[in-house]
Amino acid sequence: MASDRSADREARIDALLDKQEIIECLTRFSRGMDRFDRDTYLSAFHEDAEMAAGPFVGSARDCWEWAKPMHETYQIATHHDLLNVTIDLDGDVAHSECYYMFVARNRDESVWLAGGRYIDRLERRDGAWKIALRTNAIEWACNPPAMPLPFADVPDIYGNGAPARDRSDPSYQRPLVNRRKPSNPSA
């Protein structure tokens, strides 16, 4: 009986590790698109992956070539935020449903929100989980009123680096350090 529990525990740990790798794969897609990091974006997909995103249907590479100029032209910043994730494992194939919220700060200072689900078939090839097929179920969108950025008037708000859509973004800094002076807001 102890060996049954041990084997069950091993199987559950293996499933958790697979699911974590899949979540990291899904996150690479979002980070890659938001930071305009093509290599990170493409690392989420197998070379022969197919995807449907809004009006686009084609390869992950071609989607990058379609989406990046669009986001660059019309938005100052984008967030492809990932929410609830369900993953069904079946050997070296997995199916996932990932709720998302897309947020864009547009060049005209308007804001665009949209939500839906990424529905993916992932495959483990050569030990790596990547997306083989993606479809995007867009379920809602709106344009809430734009507001000024909070704390934009703080003189050194970007002292640790300004948000950027490239590798100059503070999230790439290694090691991460604080270059801003300590403050005492209650003083």
pLDDT digits (tens, 9 = 90+) for 69-127: 999 999 999 999 999 999 999 999 999 999 999 999 999 999 999 999 999 999 999 99
Give the helix ranges, DSSP H, for 35-173: 38-42, 60-74
**What is the distance between the alpha carbons of residues 54 and 137, in angstroms, rounded to a whole number?**
8
The pair of three-digit structure tokens given for residue 165, joined into one six-digit string: 């859509």
3-state secondary structure of 175: coil
Q: What is the pTM of this model?
A: 0.89
Asked whether residue 181 carries a pLDDT value surpassing 90, the answer given is: no
Q: Does domain 2-148 have CATH number 3.10.450.50?
A: yes
pLDDT digits (tens, 9 = 90+) for 143-172: 999 888 888 888 888 999 999 999 999 999
pLDDT band at 4 (very low <50, low <70, confident <90, very high): confident
Give the other-Cβ count within 10 Å of 93's Cβ: 13
Tokens for 80? 């492809």
Domain boundaries, the chain: 2-148
At residue 162's C-alpha, the angle toward residues 154 and 20, to 5°, is 120
Structure tokens at 50: 């197919």
CA distance 14 to 11: 5
- The two three-digit tokens of residue 128, written as one number: 């790596």
Structure tokens, 22: 């899949």
Give the largest CA-CA distance in the chain: 65
Does residue 1 surpass a pLDDT of 80?
no
